[in-house]
Amino acid sequence: MTVSSLLRRVAAGAGAAFFLALGLAGGAHAADTPVGATTLGGKLFLDVSHLNAYRNGQRTATSRNGADLKRFYLDLEHRFSDVWSAHLTTDINWARDSSPTDLWLKHAYLQGAFSKALVLRFGSAPLPWAGFVNQWSGYRYVDKELVTRLKFGASADWGVHALGALGDRGRLQYAASVISGSSFKHPRTGDRPDVEARVAWQPSAHSVLAVGGYDGERALGGGNLPTYHTARRWDAMAAYATQRVRLGAQYFRAVDWNQVRSPRGDCASGWSAWASVVLDPRWAVFARYDRADTSASLDPSRRDHYANLGVAYRVSRQVQLAAVYKRERISHEHLALSSSNELGVYAQIGF
C-alpha cells in the first residue's frame, strides 16, 4: 500500500464512493484487506532538472543540473481485525543540495475504523488539511500544496486523529487532530497540545467546499524561553474534479505562525489556484499559480509568487511522468530578493 493509499483512506473514511467516482482513489479500502494480512508497498518522487537561482541579482550556488530523489515512501500495513489495523510509512529524502540523506518516520499509527462516521488514529498520521488539498488538486509529485510549500503547516504529526463522514451519502466530512505541533520530522512536546481541524461539504460527487483551522504553540512552549503568541491558521478551499478536469483554489491566513517566541506579532496570507485537463487516457496538461504575503506586519511589501506549467504522461498505473516549468519569485518593494527558474522531468513511481 502506497502513501497515496494512506491519504486516500482519509477520504475513504469520509465518503469513499465520491472520491472513487472522481478517480482520486484507486486502491482497496482497509475493509477489503483480509484480517491477519500484511501489505507492503511504496512510492518514489524523482526529478531530473535544470535550476537557475538568483539572490539580489546574482546567480547562487543552488543553481545546478542533476537528479533528486524528492521522496521515497515505504508503506507497511497490518490488519488485526475488522476494526483495527496498524500503519507505518517511512519517508526518505535525498536532494542535490542536502547531505546526508534524510530519513523520517512519517506515519506510524494504530487505526480503529468503527464506522464511516468515526475512524480514530493514534500516533503519527495525516493531518486534516494538506493531504485533502493534494487529493483534489493532484500532481503532488510535482510540488506540495500552498500551505506546506510555504511551511505554514505540516502534512503529518503525532497525536490523536478522528475523521469520518456524516449525513446523506456521507457528503458532510470532518477531520480533527489533537497533536504535538512539532510535525513528524522533529517530534517533540510543548506545554499544550495543538489542534488542526477541517469540515468539508460535497454538494455533488465532483465538487467540494472546505474550511479548516489550526491553533497551538507548535511545541515551542516550555523550557527556558517564554512564549508570547499562539500560532493560528484559517483555511478555505473550493474545488471541482472529474476524471478529465480539475479546477480549484485555496486560501489561508496565518497569525503569529513564526512568532510564538517573539514579542512582535505577524501575520501572513496567500492563495493558490490550479487547473488541469486530461486530453486522452495518457496525456494531460496542468498549471498552478500561488501568491502570498508572507509577513504582512513585519515586512508588508514582501511577496512570494510561484507558478508551474506542465505536460503529464501516464506510462502505466504505477508510473507517471511530467515535463514541468517552475518559477518562484520573492520580492520586496517590487524588487526581486530572490528568484528561481526550473525546467525538468518529474516522475511518480509506485509499487
Predicted local confidence at residue 334, as pLDDT: 66
Domain boundaries, the chain: 3-350
Contacts of 321 (CB under 8 A, 6+ apart): 312, 313, 315, 345, 346, 347
Cell of 246: 480539475
Predicted local confidence at residue 18, as pLDDT: 35
Of the candidates 324, 256, 238, which has an alpha carbon nearest to the alpha carbon of residue 286?
A: 324
**Which amino acid is present at 153?**
G
pLDDT tens per residue across all 351 residues of the chain: 333 343 333 333 333 333 333 333 333 345 567 898 999 999 999 999 999 988 877 787 677 788 888 889 999 999 999 999 999 999 887 765 555 467 889 999 999 999 999 999 999 999 999 999 999 999 999 999 999 999 999 999 999 999 999 988 889 999 999 999 999 888 888 889 999 999 999 999 999 999 999 999 999 987 778 899 999 999 999 999 999 999 999 999 999 999 999 999 999 999 999 999 999 999 999 999 999 999 999 989 899 999 999 999 999 999 999 999 999 999 887 677 888 999 999 999 999
Predicted local confidence at residue 17, as pLDDT: 34
Long-range contact set of residues 199-205: C-beta below 8 Å, sequence gap at least 24: 199/172, 199/173, 199/174, 200/14, 200/132, 200/172, 200/173, 200/174, 201/171, 201/172, 201/173, 202/15, 202/18, 202/171, 202/173, 203/171, 205/17, 205/18, 205/21, 205/22
Contacts of 310 (CB under 8 A, 6+ apart): 139, 142, 285, 286, 287, 322, 323, 324, 325, 346
- The size of the chain, in residues, is 351
3-350 has which CATH code?
A: 2.40.160.10
**Which amino acid is present at 186?**
H
3-state class of 341 per DSSP?
A: strand
3-state class of 254 per DSSP?
A: strand
Q: Left (φ > 0), alpha (ψ -120 to 50) or beta: where does 341 sit? A: beta
The DSSP letter of residue 309 is: E
Residue identified by cell 517564554 is 226
Predicted local confidence at residue 1, as pLDDT: 39
What's the pLDDT tens digit per position in 31-43? 567 898 999 999 9
First and final C-alpha spacing in the chain: 8
Contacts of 32 (CB under 8 A, 6+ apart): none
Cell of 233: 491558521
Predicted local confidence at residue 132, as pLDDT: 98
Please report, to the nearest 10 degrees, the dihedral formed by the alpha carbons of residues 95, 97, 98, 103 taken in order. Answer: -10
Contacts of 309 (CB under 8 A, 6+ apart): 286, 287, 324, 325
Predicted local confidence at residue 101, as pLDDT: 61
Of the candidates 137, 130, 136, 134, which has an alpha carbon nearest to the alpha carbon of residue 151?
A: 130
Element (H, E) at 136: helix 130-137
Predicted local confidence at residue 185, as pLDDT: 84
**15 neighbors 206 (Cβ within 8 angstroms):** no
Please report, to the nearest 10 degrees, the dihedral formed by the alpha carbons of residues 293, 297, 300, 303 taken in order. Answer: -20
